[in-house]
Amino acid sequence: MNDTLKNLKMRDWTETKAHSSWQIFKIMAEFVEGFEALAKIGPCISIFGSARTRSGNPYYELACEVARRLAEDGFGIISGGGPGIMEAANKGAQLANGTSVGLNIELPHEQYANPFLDRDKSLNFDYFFVRKVMFTKYSQGFVMMPGGFGTMDEFFEVATLIQTKKMTETPLVLVGSEYWGGLLDWIDNVMMKKESNIHPEDLNLLKVFDTADEVVDYFREFYASNKLRPNF
């Protein structure tokens, strides 16, 4: 590498480091805003799923029903604040006159605030990792509807936190056995049995249901003998 190119690269690296130092303050501000807002809300359930699922789709309607029923039981509903399953979850919360929270994030497509959020409980984030902390810290349960890469990311994040006991044991529900069946078979047959990368008891962290009744009954049963509290 010649001296001119080396100097240019060092200048770029120095500028990047300076930017990173200031970035810390923006990250801290997002954490503070999120903690202050969500700590006041009370027990909530986070519902995840695809932004591409539209009204009329069976999974959209099921997410709405699950959220409505959980809100009627006194849980606030947290979603990613955008369209699709997120919109369905917030719609269900509002139908039950429950708390409807949205944790929005700026994306190049698909993401915009849905119309079913409580105006004072719609937060915006630039950083995925800060947003995921908000989902996990203040949720007393997680409902995973069918979704794409983002939903899978959130699913495995929560599963890892529970598995490693970095989070209090918390209900983790997958809705739609047909959708999740292939992934769960792979986890069972390849990840666990063939490669021994997880223990059999790790699969017990996951519950798979197909109806709103099953989801709501599971949460009721779990919290009949467990305290409601922040996860970490």
pLDDT in tens, 83-139: 999 999 999 999 999 999 999 987 766 567 899 999 899 999 999 999 999 999 989
Q: Which residues pair with 51 in a beta bridge?
A: none
Residue 12's pLDDT is what?
A: 60
Q: Which domain holds residue 92?
A: 41-223
Q: Is residue 129 part of a domain?
A: yes
Torsion on CA atoms 84, 85, 88, 90, rounded to nearest 10: -110
Q: Does 229 fall in a domain?
A: no
Average pLDDT over the chain reads 91
Distance, CA of 117 to CA of 159 (rounded, Å): 27
Tell whether 213 is covered by a domain. yes
Contact predicate 100/90, CB 8 Å: yes
Residues 49 and 52: their CA atoms lie apart, in Å, by: 9
Cα–Cα dist 151/84, whole Å: 12
Scanning the structure block, which residue is given the tokens 């700590």?
Answer: 39
Q: Has residue 34 been placed in a domain?
A: no
Does residue 21 form part of some domain? Answer: no
Q: Is residue 208 part of a domain?
A: yes
To the nearest 10 degrees (0 to 180), the angle between helices 128-137 and 3-38 is 20
Q: Which strands, in side-by-side order, build the sheet including 44-48? A: 122-125, 100-105, 76-79, 44-48, 139-144, 172-175, 206-209
| Residues 68/72/74/75 CA torsion (nearest 10 deg) | -10
- How many beta carbons lie within 10 A of that of residue 124, not counting itself? 14
- Comparing CA positions, the residue from 82, 120, 216, 111 lying closest to residue 91 is 82
Q: Which residue has the tokens 């809300």?
A: 41
Query: Tens of pLDDT along 137-181?
Result: 989 999 999 999 999 999 999 999 999 999 988 999 999 999 999
Number of domains in the chain: 1
Residue among 118, 71, 128, 66 nearest 98 (CA): 71
Element (H, E) at 123: strand 122-125
Does any domain span residue 85? Answer: yes
> What CATH number did the domain enclosing 133 receive?
3.40.50.450
- For the entire predicted model, the pTM comes to 0.89
Determine the Cα–Cα distance for residues 88 and 31; give it in Å rounded to an integer.
Answer: 26
User: Three-class SS string for 137-165?
Assistant: HCEEEEEECCCCHHHHHHHHHHHHHHHCC
pLDDT at 23: 87
State residue 168's pLDDT score.
87
**110 in a structural domain:** yes
Residue of 140, 130, 49, 127 whose CA lies nearest to 91:
49
